[in-house]
Amino acid sequence: MTLPTFAEVLDTPGVVEESELRSRFGVMAYHGGGLETMTDVIARAAAERAGASYYGVVHPEGWTVHLPSTRVRPSQSARLRAFVDHVDVVVTVHGFGRRGLFTSLLLGGTNRELAGHVAGHLRTALPAYDIVDDLDRIPTELRGVHPDNPVNVPRGAGVQIELPPRVRGSSPLWWDWHEPIVPHTRSLIDGLARAISSWPLD
């Protein structure tokens, strides 16, 4: 199957592009909505709480086309270009599911100092999870270190966080939970917001 361009995805009915420019710390979730469940909700909430900038793409339910991050190009979106030009560093929120890693949060991206900072806050917020900020422990295709990955485009680059289903509230653990945001997701948002708020921007 030939993948569409990022611009073509954004032009598809039902796809919503979101952007709020606040501080020079950014949070992104461009595989949100029906593609990587809850990633846009988590990114938006953490950004709002910390006064950070936010960029997201919300896909409709049933969406199946997954663009690799290297195809999410600022040259094809004025909003994304304005966002990456505005922020100094960024955290990008993704979802994944892989056997043996259902309680692991993977922190990739090329800003390793920021990765360690975020990891420390997430370990406090989510003690039952394995917060992995050692690149050697992250599968190669989930490391987010390619220079064309939007997480690495801002001046200070950033951190790509891969979230398993459980912490996003979409695993069997939460099937009888009736509120839209489960406790683990709330703790994740709390930890991310604290990490963002305490990161020094020069």
Enumerate domains of the chain plus CATH numbers. Answer: 6-197 (3.40.630.100)
Per-residue tokens: 81: 């270009």
Decide if pLDDT at 19 tops 80.
Answer: yes
Detail the DSSP E strand segments found in 13-123: 16-20, 25-33, 53-59, 89-95, 104-108
Decide if pLDDT at 107 tops 90.
Answer: yes
What gap in Å lies between CA 175 and CA 44, rounded to an integer? 24
Span 113-126, pLDDT tens digits: 999 999 999 999 99
What gap in Å lies between CA 103 and CA 81, rounded to an integer? 34
Give the residue from 171, 165, 96, 105 showing the smallest Cα distance to 132: 105
- Lowest mean pLDDT of 6-20, 21-35, 122-136, 159-173, name the range: 159-173
What gap in Å lies between CA 111 and CA 34, rounded to an integer? 29
Span 143-191, pLDDT tens digits: 999 999 999 999 999 999 999 999 999 877 778 878 889 999 999 999 9
The whole-model pTM stands at 0.95
Span 47-78, pLDDT tens digits: 999 999 999 999 999 999 999 999 999 999 99
Span 182-200, pLDDT tens digits: 999 999 999 999 999 999 9
What gap in Å lies between CA 200 and CA 97, rounded to an integer? 32
